[in-house]
Amino acid sequence: MNNSKYEAVLFDLDGTLLDTALDLGMATSHVLSLYGFPPISDETARTHASDGMRALLKSGIPESEHHKYDFEAMRLQFLPYYHEHIADRTCYFNGTAELIMALKRHGIPYAVVTSKPDHLACRVLGKFPELADIGVIVGCDTLPVSKPNPEPLFYACRKLNVTPEKCLYVGDHIRDIEAGHNAGMETALALWGYIKDKSNPQAFGADYVAEDFRKLAQIIGVEI
């Protein structure tokens, strides 16, 4: 039975539901090696994972040399490698599976709204049993616009047949919080995610800050 004040919960993917940084980093290092650059560290991958492929690639090249490279071409080299190695090192965050199961028990619908391309989001989610049956996945290319534009969140709500103002959006990047507020939703900052400076989480402007999934469960109104 759903006793939560929310009709549904929407999640970002990278750095929120799944710890994907190390596979993103490996794909980045693979592409950089083609251009004679050393691999990036796991720490660098975590720092830039939520900023997208282009930011990851730029992190491994001196800024003074960025103008020499076609990052769109590099992104196209990144994609097939990442597709094949998308879950080599990716894993749940502590509590991911338990929260999803709690939402199911309480009959609370949920969806993923991510900056990952749709086919990659579906592929990585399909590797994890508790996430494989998520029916509504909105990627960065599902619609002509992406976060922080609210339309991807509105689209997910229409698919779930819920009211945006009665939903919670959970993410680890400022664009997630902005997208949620632009959609009229309450937001929760996933403090376990890829946040560069965790010393002042209030600076993101989220309605809630969740240190872990247990705290997020309390915000939603379920037990894990």
List all residues 6 or more positions away from 109 whose beta carbon is below 8 Å from its beta carbon: 7, 8, 9, 103, 160, 162
Q: If you write DSSP's letter for every residue of 103-144 in order, what string do you get?
A: HHHTT--EEEE-SS-HHHHHHHHTTSTTTTT---EE-TTTSS
Low-confidence ranges of the chain (pLDDT < 50): none
- pTM higher than 0.75: yes
Q: What is the pLDDT of residue 78?
A: 97
Amino acid at 133: D
Find out whether 78 and 53 touch, Cβ atoms under 8 Å. Answer: yes
Backbone angles phi, psi at 92, to 5 degrees: -65, 150
The 3-state DSSP composition of the chain as helix, strand, coil percent (nearest 5) reads 45, 10, 40
Cα(50)–Cα(190) distance, integer angstroms: 12
Q: What is the pLDDT of residue 94?
A: 96
Instruction: Report the SS3 class of residue 211.
Output: coil
For residue 14, indicate whether it is catalytic.
yes
Residues recorded for the chain: 224
Q: What is the pLDDT of residue 2?
A: 75
Q: Which of 14, 19, 23, 176 is catalytic?
A: 14
Q: What is the pLDDT of residue 1?
A: 64
Q: What is the pLDDT of residue 218?
A: 97
The b/e string for 189-221 (b: 16+ C-beta within 10 A; e otherwise) is bbbbbbbeeeeebeebebebbbeebebbbebbe
